[in-house]
Amino acid sequence: MANIAAPMQGTIVNLCVGVGDIVTPGDPIVVLEAMKMEHIVSADRAGRISALHVKAGDIVASGAAIGFLARDETLSAKTRADATIDLDLVRPDLAEIGALHALGLDANRPEAIARRRKSGRRTARENIADLCDEGAFVEYGALAVAAQRTRRSLDDLRRSTPADGLVAGIGGVNGALFGADAAQCAIMAYDFTVLAGTQGFLNHKKKDRVLHLARDWRLPTIIFTEGGGGRPGDTDILAPTWLEMTTFRDYAALSGVVPRIAINAGYSFAGNAALVGLSDVVIATEDSSIGMGGPAMIEGGGLGVVAPNEVGPTASQASAGVVDLVVKDETDGVDAAKKYLAYFQGALSHWDCADQRMLRHLIPENRMRVYDVRNIIDTMADAGSVLELRRAFGRGMVTALIRIEGRPFGLIANDPAYLAGAIDADGADKAARFLQLCDAFNLPVVSLCDTPGFMVGPAAEKTGLVRKVSRLFLIGAQMRTPMFTIVLRKGYGLGAQGMTGGHFHAPAFTVAWPTAEFGTMGLEGSVRLGFKKELEAVSDGDARRALFQDLVAQAYEKGKAANAAAFLEIDAVIDPRDTRHWLSRGWQATRRGAPAASSPRFVDSW
């Protein structure tokens, strides 16, 4: 006979058996309640209940005898058959949750999705499905609804405002290339089918939750930003202004901590546009319109009536430097986001490149002849690896992400086809901010220098040139990631120093192609200024021109690459074919000195 003991102190809620009943292992004997939880006391062997010492309502101490179980040899071989569980059975509690989740799915919102189709755009969930690896997205806050319970029924809100207009969570991007761990991202997408993608109370709360996760776990953050800004219709809050809301500061605080990507299609105004402006890179479709105030705010401010597509069309925002990448549609936008993010996820094991001997022939022998610097970049980098940013802004400066032997690099380059490669205010801003981006995430920088210097003249000075070009020196002096400079042709004055982080020995190496030439200012200008009296003394025009050309030739011989290298002003003059080899070896030599990931630097919004 075995004692049936109470496993803990509690109250007997129910007797499941009576004296004389036969039980098998696992059969319930009594139900015991402790700390508002019910515990089943079960038989540990087969037998017959010979006595019960308790009744419903009794309080028992831990170890107290509840009753006795008499072993019955005739039952010893009998075993309790496990209950068959129907794994496809959906319990009512689960069915209820499933039904609530289903209300927000595209398939169950035909009218809203039909309106979306008329705009020619995808839904928030479709964009996330395209962005993320298959099955790699988990959604946070799916059951949220607009904070309007005081003016609308809960059923209406669940059907009309699913997820409070923001689909958010954690998802894997580019997992096939870099593995599941490196692929994890924080992802948010405003749902334009819900109250025009506006920012509601719970919508913001959800964003803050995901942004905190991105901060804590260093998750790259991707936001689809289409929407109309703040939502005035939320009534379930007591705050009169809600200006203590932390979303924008939280997103700004991620600058330099994780890569942040904004993808926009259609209209993005006010608060949505603020998230655009805070992002590291902005990808926008051709039909986007982005502005800090939408048509209603413009009209309300007494500034006239404008159509949404007139506020900040993509063409003007790209030329102003707001948009980094212009794409045709959301599909291309997602593809661009994946490609951009990949540069911050790691190296690729497979790569190809053009025949590097081509580099020997891409700069004309005529030192006055313009060439296409993008052709050099495409030839030098791994095939298909060049992603140029802000092409329509600061046209004299190229900023791009590239790969060399699969490794990601940032690249800046002067474009001699625009102002002969002179660095103007926009070009300096563009390059300086890009250097911040590379430094924040430890991307080594390739600098292709071909500049006669900073732009000069009264018109240039009206653009704030003095301050703006100085950013190249300020940021260059603070950079921790290595820079590798290749002088393609002109390396003159302060402009050339700006392209090297401050001076020619600041980079890990400064090398030149045989076509390079150096000086404190352009050769022709230096001759005109330095030999002004000698030239004016020659009255014959042809003789004066001949003297001028002779003096320029002498200056060129003094400033040509071989002479600069002989005085150790640069580290080497190389065969253009060997450029990739130098970059690969330079990266290998400097990677041990990479900065710790625990000391982030912010990336300027501009």
User: What is the band of 2 on the pLDDT scale with cuts at 50, 70, 90?
Assistant: confident
Residue 83: per-residue pLDDT: 53
Residues above pLDDT 90, as percent of the chain: 79
Residue 521: per-residue pLDDT: 74
Specify the range with the lowest mean pLDDT, choosing from 295-304, 317-326, 431-440.
Answer: 295-304
CA pair distance 343, 338, nearest whole angstrom: 9
Residue 81: per-residue pLDDT: 47
- The DSSP bridge partners found for residue 93 are none
Residue 272, pLDDT > 80, answer yes
Q: Which two tokens stand for residue 197?
A: 């993608």
pLDDT higher at 286 or 301: 286
Residue 184: per-residue pLDDT: 97
- Per-residue b/e over 455-467, b at no fewer than 16 CB within 10 Å? beeeebeebebee
Q: Which residues lie below 8 Å from residue 505, measured CB to CB, with a gap of 6+?
A: none
Q: Which of 23-27, 47-51, 73-77, 370-374: highest mean pLDDT?
A: 370-374
CA pair distance 388, 396, nearest whole angstrom: 13
Residue 80: per-residue pLDDT: 47
pLDDT tens digits, residue range 273-282?
999 999 999 9
pTM (2 decimals)?
0.89
pLDDT tens digits, residue range 339-372?
999 999 999 999 999 999 999 999 999 988 999 9
**DSSP letter (8 states) at residue 81:** P
Q: How many Cβ atoms sit within 10 Å of the Cβ of residue 397?
A: 25
CA pair distance 181, 161, nearest whole angstrom: 33
pLDDT tens digits, residue range 53-97?
999 999 999 999 999 998 876 665 444 444 577 889 999 999 999
pLDDT tens digits, residue range 518-569?
987 777 777 777 788 788 788 888 888 888 888 777 777 788 999 999 999 9
pLDDT tens digits, residue range 238-269?
777 778 889 999 999 999 999 999 999 999 99
Q: Which two tokens stand for residue 392?
A: 């329509």
Mean predicted lDDT score pLDDT of the chain: 92
Angle at 426 between CA 392 and CA 529, to 5 degrees: 120
pLDDT tens digits, residue range 462-509?
999 999 999 999 999 999 999 999 999 999 999 999 999 999 999 999
